[in-house]
């Protein structure tokens, strides 16, 4: 038996935030990040709407990027003190991911973090509160997904938590919030969304329920990302919807090794963090060439749906060329070397990174199985820009 789960309601379009006026409840805690939502006036706007709805509110602020287990536990404690029946998280991926995890420990104070690391092992939620997610970046789509990434800094490990219990009840996809993203973030998060949709479409978990969402998201990213990057408001709005569709697809079809590689290389090198979406954008064409041995027809489907013609093999090649061309337009490097990773450090670390990447939770649904040796070869191709021919 398979399952397909989305939020009960998705409010989208200009002024979607104002739906908060109509929310039923008594007390809402609002979980926020570093302050940009406050700076741009969206927090005050939301608080005004909640006041109109007669809801008492409290803020939990300053969730850091890549939120920690400690922040999650602190937030859960604040929730236990305030006893909200609504949790609202507003911002980029980090505050929303953190709030999803806080929700678990609010409802189940005795539960340990270790006990929810195993995918799809969460206790039944919604005994105390419902969850509303308001996204401000156009990439992670955490407002509609069953995932949350929490970092255990003591162990130096990022844990991707997964369970349909943490799929929000309500997602608010208001383009005005995404209009504040700077160009580089727009490029990276946009390519993250494209990767979500392409990986979901070729995943071993793909289904007739997820395919249309993935294909539509792919079309929209190709149509709107360059203009969104260049500041076009309409394109920015369409990208906010496209990333949400991609999220609906991958929350149910899962991902593949582009994400495994991005997860395990993001913080691996001394030359600096590789932003998630940038890493995905670099790896995507190489992974398509590797996976094509097992999923050529699926990639050709994607290519044909965006107007590419030819044999399956020609379509796959042209799809990779198209992605390369978008990366050029978006000022994204083609290789890890070009990104600035040092050659000696890469060579020293690549074998261990390959083992970690194969062990990543996203590897299981990749269309082609991969060994650590093959992963090392693939990563080496992404470093030097050499052809994937194995």
How does DSSP classify residue 18?
A: G
CB of 366 to Fe ion, least distance (A): 14
For residue 173, the SS3 value is strand
CB closer to Fe ion, 7 vs 277: 277
Judged by CB under 5 A, how many residues of this single chain contact Fe ion?
A: 1
CB closer to Fe ion, 140 vs 165: 140
CB closer to Fe ion, 43 vs 181: 181
Query: Which residues, numbered 158-217, are part of the site for Fe ion (CB under 5 A)?
Result: 192
Order of all β-strands in the sheet with 130-135? 9-12, 170-173, 130-135, 86-91, 27-32, 56-60
CB closer to Fe ion, 163 vs 192: 192
Spatial contact of 172 and 11, defined as CB atoms under 8 Å apart: yes
User: Which residues, at least 6 apart from 345, have a Cβ–Cβ distance to it below 8 Å?
Assistant: 269, 270, 271
What tokens were used for 206?
A: 């793909």
CB of 257 to Fe ion, least distance (A): 13
Spatial contact of 164 and 5, defined as CB atoms under 8 Å apart: yes
CB of 112 to Fe ion, least distance (A): 27
DSSP string, 186-222: HHHHHHHHHHHHHHHHHSTT--TTTHHHHHHHHHHHH
CB of 255 to Fe ion, least distance (A): 7
**What's the rounded Cα separation, in Å, for the pair 204 and 291?**
12
CB of 77 to Fe ion, least distance (A): 29
Per-residue x/- track, 31-60, Fe ion (CB under 5 A): ------------------------------
CB closer to Fe ion, 157 vs 342: 157
CB closer to Fe ion, 57 vs 356: 356
What tokens were used for 302?
A: 């994607």
Total length of the chain: 390
CB of 65 to Fe ion, least distance (A): 15
Alpha-carbon dihedral of residues 362, 363, 366, 371, nearest 10 degrees? 170
User: Interface with Fe ion includes 360 (CB under 5 A)?
Assistant: no
CB of 74 to Fe ion, least distance (A): 26
CB closer to Fe ion, 279 vs 320: 279
For Fe ion, which residue has the nearest CB?
Answer: 192
- The total of other beta-carbon atoms located within 10 Å of residue 143's CB is 26
Binding site for Fe ion (CB under 5 A): 192
């Amino acid at each position: 038996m398979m399952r397909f789960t989305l939020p009960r309601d998705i409010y989208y379009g200009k002024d979607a935030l104002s739906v908060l006026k109509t929310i039923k409840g008594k007390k809402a805690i609002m979980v926020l990040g570093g302050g940009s939502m406050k700076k741009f006036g969206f927090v005050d706007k939301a608080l005004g709407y909640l006041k109109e709805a007669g809801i008492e509110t409290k803020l939990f602020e300053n969730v850091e990027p890549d939120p920690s287990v400690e922040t999650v536990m602190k937030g859960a404690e604040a929730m236990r003190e305030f006893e909200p029946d609504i949790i609202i998280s507003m911002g980029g991926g980090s505050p929303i991911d953190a709030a999803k995890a806080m929700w678990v420990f609010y409802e189940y104070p005795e539960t340990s973090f270790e006990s929810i690391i195993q995918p799809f092992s969460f206790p039944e939620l919604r005994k105390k509160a419902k969850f509303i997610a308001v996204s401000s970046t156009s990439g992670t789509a955490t407002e509609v997904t069953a995932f949350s990434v929490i970092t255990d800094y003591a162990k130096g490990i990022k844990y991707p938590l997964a369970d349909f219990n943490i799929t929000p009840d309500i997602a608010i996809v208001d383009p005005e919030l995404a209009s504040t993203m700077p160009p580089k973030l727009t490029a990276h998060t946009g390519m993250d969304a494209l990767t979500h949709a392409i990986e979901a479409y070729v995943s071993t978990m793909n289904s007739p329920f997820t395919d249309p969402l993935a294909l539509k998201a792919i079309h929209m990213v190709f149509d709107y990302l360059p203009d969104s990057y260049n500041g076009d408001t309409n394109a920015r709005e369409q990208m906010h919807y496209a990333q949400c569709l991609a999220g609906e697809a991958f929350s149910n079809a899962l991902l593949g090794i582009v994400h495994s590689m991005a997860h395990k290389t993001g913080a691996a090198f001394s030359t600096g963090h590789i932003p998630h979406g940038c890493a995905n954008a670099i790896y995507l064409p190489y992974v398509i060439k590797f996976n094509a041995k097992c999923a050529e027809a699926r990639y050709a489907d994607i290519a044909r749906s965006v107007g590419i013609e030819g044999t399956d093999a020609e379509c796959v090649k042209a799809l990779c060329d198209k992605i390369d061309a978008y990366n050029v337009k978006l000022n994204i490097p083609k290789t890890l070397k070009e990104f600035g990773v040092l050659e000696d450090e890469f060579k020293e670390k690549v074998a261990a990174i390959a083992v970690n990447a194969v062990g990543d939770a996203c590897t299981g649904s990749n269309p082609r199985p991969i060994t650590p040796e093959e992963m090392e070869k693939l990563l080496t191709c992404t470093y030097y820009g050499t052809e994937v021919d194995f």
